[in-house]
Amino acid sequence: MIAKMIRNILWAPWRLEYVTKADKVTGCIFCEKPAQQNDRENLILYRFKTGFVIMNAFPYNNGHLMVVPYRHKPRLSDLTEEELRDLIMATQTCEKVLTEQMHPHGFNIGLNLGRCAGAGIDDHLHIHIVPRWDGDTSFLPVLSATKVLPELLSQTYEKLLIPLQRLMAEGSLGPPERDKD
């Protein structure tokens, strides 16, 4: 629902590559990427005990983040209380860091559960956080999308990385005490 709604509002031509590839991809990127220990290239911004924050490589808008549990589960009812708490706390921190760093006017935040509801990856739950700006229907189309997007993604990654780590460290998803020194 949310994905469909956003798709109707934002013109995101670079998503065509994703949409055309989506049915051919095997495996689960939300399991594979954190296992690779190559966070910068994989656009993983932060890891906490039960999950991680990753940038969407085919974003609906600049700053499109996703909060994902490590466990490969499709539904909220499959998750533990700890996972649910961590996911929503991480989502709150993403909202804060995007607000601080990118000054959006609003957000689309939500879950698509099941392919019929618009989920691209429908068997590993993830929360979308999409910042919105007034008039952002015209955002990015001026760029030659597929060439500029990787550069834009890495700029946004660098912009968010340290502030997100700082905000996470201040909250309940900060690194364990033994890692702070």
Tell me whether residue 93 is exposed, middle or buried, using C-beta atoms within 10 angstroms of its C-beta: 0 to 12, 13 to 18, 19 or more.
buried
Q: Note whether 52 binds Zn ion by CB under 5 A.
A: no
Q: How far is the CB of 170 from Zn ion (least distance, A)?
A: 29
Give the closest residue to 80 by CA, choosing from 49, 107, 106, 109: 49
Q: Note whether 71 binds Zn ion by CB under 5 A.
A: no
Element (H, E) at 5: helix 2-9
Q: Note whether 124 binds Zn ion by CB under 5 A.
A: yes
Q: Note whether 148 binds Zn ion by CB under 5 A.
A: no
Q: Which is nearer to Zn ion, 31 or 161 (CB)?
A: 31
CB 137 within 8 A of CB 61: no
Residues 6 or more apart whose Cβ sits within 8 Å of residue 80: 50
126 is annotated as an active-site residue: yes
Which of 72, 103, 124, 126 is catalytic? The answer is: 126
Contacting residue, 16, 22, 25, 28, with Zn ion by CB under 5 A: 28
User: Hey, which residues are catalytic here?
Assistant: 126
Q: Where along the sequence are the contacts to Zn ion (CB under 5 A)?
A: 28, 30-31, 72, 124
